[in-house]
Chains A and B, each alone.
Chain A
Amino acid sequence: MNQGEKEEYLRDYAVLKSQGKPFFPYAVAKDAAMAAVVMVVIISLSLVLGAELGPKANPTTTTYTPRPEWYFFFLFELLRVIKPPSFTGLAMIGIPTVCLILLILLPFYDRGPERRPERRPIATLTGIFVIAAMAYLTYQGANAGSPTSIDLKTPPAVMQQGPAVVAQFNAGRQVAAQSGCLACHKIGDNGNDGPGPPLKDIGTRLPAQAIARTLTNPTSPMPPFQECGTQGPGQSAVSCLPPQKFNALVYFLSHLKSK
């Protein structure tokens, strides 16, 4: 807006304002009615849906799948859909940060004098697109299953050994996904890089028995995974896996090999 347009706006606005009604009581009455609606909605939501309290926080569990509050679903889904490692940093921080900077600086790059939405097609369409994208991501995030699924192709070496072995590999993959390994380990394009080492080729670096030993007696801060019933006298059964699941997990990890 140049100086002329600014002055024209201020002039027009002064006229419209002088033709308006005083804030009190007219606008105050509307605001009060709206506030009453908000109050009624909050009270009804509280009475109908309430606030549940889950089991007590247990930092040693490793099988808990974290879920954010619904208004963070879109962000959560954004992180989930972008898996390639070169984009993960971009998705996690880049996209939200850039969006926020664009949002905060909006009045400084959109300086045209036009205010009617139908005469600002770029702004209006962008706004609609952003709302639609956020709604879509929120919907996807709400309906997402376990956010810790491992998206990985079954290696050919395992494929050749027949369906029973493939089934065990897949079972192990599921146990790994549900046990929260991805919180600290990277497997292929899945999970967080660190503090644990990437497990993509753990099968080449460690034999199956060493993997099992590491799982039961890991280096801190990794929590121990035990076969149920095998823990020693001083150990508590914080996170024990049934032997079948434990073996599947070891099998899965020991077959993650570099080509």
Chain B
Amino acid sequence: MRLPKLPAPPLPAALRPKPPRPGTANGPVGRIDAAREAGTTAVDWVDERTSLSGGMRWLMFRKVPKGTNWFYTLGSATMFAFLSQAVTGVFLAMYYDPSPTHAYESARYITNEAFLGAFVRGMHKWGSSMMLILIFLHMGRTFFFGAYKYPRELNWVIGVVLLVLTLMMALTGYLLPFDQRSYWASVVAVNINGSGPLVGPYLADFLRAGPDFTATTLSRFYAIHMLLIPGAIAALIGAHLYLVAKLGTTAPPWLKAEPESDLRTTEA
């Protein structure tokens, strides 16, 4: 039996219980619900301040033409190989010392003593071969599928520059272990560079840091290998990807768009 409800005591307004706020009829939000929504809340918080969600939606939910096959994964695989090189490179840089007196010793330390050092160095060495193979395969796919044609000309140009930068990475990285093989191959490579027309001698002098292969050459190769080219590659990969997302990946060349009448019926 319900007791008759007593009238509310005549309290001042400030002490009276507040009426429930609209929308909270189901009781207070539980902790589980709050935790469940935390992620959304955080993303919303960031999105409210950056408006990134539109860009992400544009990037991730754009359509890829039908007929896209495994050949179209070569570009992202190349980028993945580059990321692998970046990560293993960071770990190698933790132990490497780019001075001519200590370079070989630190490379020896990495190879023989550091924890997993030989493994990481092996990954970096073979990753470079892998990256070049993938970049050539990706370029071959683009070439034979005619994917460099209108409107993607600029992306081809960026891609060729990326290829050249990758080869320069291979060249500058080859010297760093500072063993006989890397030293002499680099001497020859720089000399070949020096015999080039116009800029050749200047380029060789720049690479060597002077007319001869000296102590400064190694640290110069190291800075180019560690800072200059990776930065350029990362920036150009960004531009390359932006254009891919903007223009769309090509459909295989043998696919023809079906007549518009079919399209109309399927859409209806």
Contacts and interface: CB of A to CB of B under 8 A. Distances in A.
Interface of A: 1, 6, 9-13, 15-24, 26-28, 30-31, 33-35, 37-39, 41-43, 45-47, 49-51, 53-59, 61, 64-72, 79, 89, 92-93, 97, 100, 103-104, 106-108, 110-117, 120, 123-124, 127, 131, 183, 192, 221
A13 B81 CA distance: 30
B115 interface: no
Contacts of B209: none
A169 to B, nearest CB: 27
A165 B89 CA distance: 55
29 contacts: A6-B151, A13-B65, A13-B248, A20-B68, A22-B61, A26-B64, A28-B60, A38-B77, A53-B179, A56-B178, A56-B179, A57-B104, A58-B180, A65-B184, A66-B184, A68-B174, A71-B170, A72-B171, A72-B189, A79-B192, A92-B192, A97-B196, A100-B160, A103-B160, A107-B153, A110-B148, A113-B149, A116-B146, A117-B145
- Residue of A57, A92, A123 most packed against chain B (CB within 10 A): A57
Interface string B103-142: 0100110010000001111111111111010100000100
A31 B76 CA distance: 6
Contacts of A131: 140
Given A17-B65, A131-B140, A68 B189 contact: yes
A183 B65 contact: no
Contact of B65 (A20, A59, A124): A20
Contact of A115 (B61, B67, B253): B253
A100 to B, nearest CB: 7
B157 interface: yes
Given A46-B119, A192-B191, A111 B149 contact: yes
Contacts of B66: 16, 19-21
Contacts of A1: 149-150
A35 B188 CA distance: 35
A74 to B, nearest CB: 11
Nearest to A180: B184
A96 to B, nearest CB: 9
B256 interface: yes
Contact of A89 (B145, B182, B195, B249): B195
Given A15-B258, A46-B119, A100-B164, A183 B188 contact: yes
B257 interface: yes
A158 B130 CA distance: 51
- Residue of A34, A47, A58, A61 most packed against chain B (CB within 10 A): A34
Contacts of A108: 153
A123 B129 CA distance: 27
Contacts of A114: 146
Contact of A49 (B81, B126, B263): B126
A24 to B, nearest CB: 4
B213 interface: yes
A55 B76 CA distance: 37
A115 to B, nearest CB: 3
Interface string B237-268: 00000000000111101111110100100000
B143 interface: yes
Contacts of B149: 1, 107, 110-113, 115
B83 to A, nearest CB: 9
B179 A59 contact: no
B63 interface: yes
Contacts of A9: 150
B99 to A, nearest CB: 13
Contact of B60 (A10, A23, A113): A23
Nearest to B120: A46
B200 interface: yes
A45 B118 CA distance: 12
A26 B182 CA distance: 43
Interface string B146-187: 111111110011001100100100110010011111111101
Given A56-B178, A70-B129, A117-B146, A38 B80 contact: yes
Given A13-B257, A20-B251, A131-B140, 18 more contacts: A13-B65, A16-B66, A23-B59, A23-B63, A31-B80, A35-B77, A38-B80, A42-B123, A46-B123, A47-B122, A50-B118, A53-B104, A57-B182, A65-B184, A66-B184, A71-B170, A107-B152, A183-B191
B255 A16 contact: yes
A115 B145 contact: yes
B12 interface: no
8 closest cross-chain pairs (CB), A and B: A46-B122, A115-B146, A57-B183, A107-B153, A115-B253, A66-B184, A54-B179, A15-B257
B181 A46 contact: no
Nearest to A15: B257
